[in-house]
Structure formats: C-alpha cells, structure tokens
Amino acid sequence: MRAIVLLPVLAFAFLGCGPPPDQTRLVLLDEAARMSGALVQLEHWEGAPAFAVRLTPDDRPMLLTQTDARRLEVPAHTLAYVQGSDVQVRLLDLDDTARGQMVLTGSEGAAQRVASVVNAEVKALGEDRYRLEGEDLLDRSAFLEAPRGLREVRPVESTPEPMRPLLGRDTSTGSSLSWRGEGVAESVPITLVGVYASGATTLILDAEGGYTLTRECGDTVQGTVVESGDRLVLLGEDHSPRALYVLDEGGVQIGAEHLQPVLEEAP
C-alpha cells in the first residue's frame, strides 16, 4: 500500500518549483541570559547583543556561560532562543514566529529609534513594552546596535488555530516548541496515520512513528515523530524540529501551513 501511495506524492513534488528553502538561522538571548553572562561565540566574534545574531551557513556557534561552553546546533529556518539565568535554549521554527513583529522592553524613545531604523510601526503594550510591526524584523534587525534605554528584544510566537489534544494531553498552551529530546513516540495515534496535502506540501504519517514531508520542488525530508511536552514534533535527519498540530476539521498544521487528508481511510 505504501508504494501505491508514494507514486502520486512523487508526481506532486515535481509539478512546480517554488522559492529556494529558507536557510535563515538566528540566535537571540533574552535579558536574563545576557545578565547572567551568556555569550554567543563565532569563529572571529563573540558577544551578547540584545538583537538577534544571524548565522551564515558555515557558522557553528558556541554558547558560553559562566560555567561551561556548549555547541549550539541551529538548523536552517530556526531561531535558537536563549532564555533565563539558567540559560535554557528553545528552538523555534521560524514558521512558528511572527517574523514581521518583535516585542521590545525599554523606554519609548528606544523603541521609536529602533522603529525608525527598521521602518516599523510601534504599538505600546504597557509597562515599558512595545510591539514593532514591519517586514522580517527579526532577520533585518540582526546585529543592530541597541540604543540607550533598550533592555530586551523578544520574538512574537504565533498562536495556532484551535486544536484537539494529542496523546490525551491538552495542547492549548500555544505554539512555542521546546525540544529537549523527550523521546521517540512509540507510534503515531492511529487516527492520524495517513496522507495530508496542501498546495505546496505533502505529509505521510505512518503507524510506526515515521513521516515523509515532500515540498513542491522535490525537497523531501524523512524523520521520526517525537513527543515534546504536550505535542507531537516532526524531527528531521538534521534534527530540525517542526511542531505538528491537529485541527478540529480533521487536518493538520505545520507552522503556518494547513494540510488536509488525502485518503478517507488510513493505509
């Protein structure tokens, strides 16, 4: 049955050719992490800027703290968000963030100055917090020098549409993805096994905990479905995590993409 299913999937993959895969890799330290002494180290640079650090394809960043140094594995299309005085790292798929927004903590003057540099609009959120809205703000503001009065830059994480619980747990806590290797799911819930498709993507979930994700240009990723807290995650061979949500109407959501079932019955 699997061979029969794969034939239309492969044909679908070559119907068109979209834009090249997004290779953006970013590292962002919050205020508590920077105050604790955390630093990002590249081959010829190190620092703890308030704005994001943009990585080149060849960069292999190190995260330095007061007590240790560890390699930061940042897959393509991912923001490594370093948080707290205990310097915890969360990997956020950039599809799970509002890339045209960011939240600044600090003075109004500092927020207005940043907005003028990156051509963004400012909205006050209260208590010295301001939301900037523009185009690709996280990426375009990388390495920007923080003006006086700016304390912190935070990403805005997207909120998915309502979804039903996975594996008997509540998934209403938002779309942030924290991958700490909780473990491989023994199997995908049988109600999810099958083929899903959107205009540009096809997803196959098998009953043994594996998946195949095919893009319109023939870019195919295979990997394992894992459990991370209260949700399922598609973990690729490069260890890039993508949160998987189940929608009320029966489809699934990966990042901003909604995929609908192709087959009425699971193979």
Residues 136 and 222 in one domain: no
- Residue 238 counted as domain residue: yes
Residue 8 vs residue 104, higher pLDDT: 104
Residues 135 and 35 in one domain: yes
Q: In what order do the strands lie in the sheet with 45-47?
A: 45-47, 39-42, 62-64, 69-71
- Boundary (domain end) residue, out of 135, 158, 181: 158
| Whole-number Å distance between alpha carbons of 32 and 151 | 10
Residues 102 and 148 in one domain: yes
Query: How do residues 49-88 score in pLDDT, each as one tens digit?
Result: 999 999 998 999 999 999 999 998 888 888 999 999 999 9
Per-residue model confidence (pLDDT) at position 75: 85
| Whole-number Å distance between alpha carbons of 215 and 197 | 10
Domain range spanning residue 238? Answer: 160-261
Query: How do residues 11-55 score in pLDDT, each as one tens digit?
Result: 333 334 444 556 889 999 999 999 999 999 999 999 999 999 999
* Mean pLDDT, the chain, whole residue set: 77
Task: Supply angle C-alpha 42, 43, 46, rounded to 5.
Answer: 40
Residues 148 and 32 in one domain: yes
Residue 17 vs residue 253, higher pLDDT: 253
Query: How do residues 153-165 score in pLDDT, each as one tens digit?
Result: 999 987 543 333 3
Residues 139 and 204 in one domain: no
The CATH number for 207's domain is 2.40.128.500
Per-residue model confidence (pLDDT) at position 242: 72
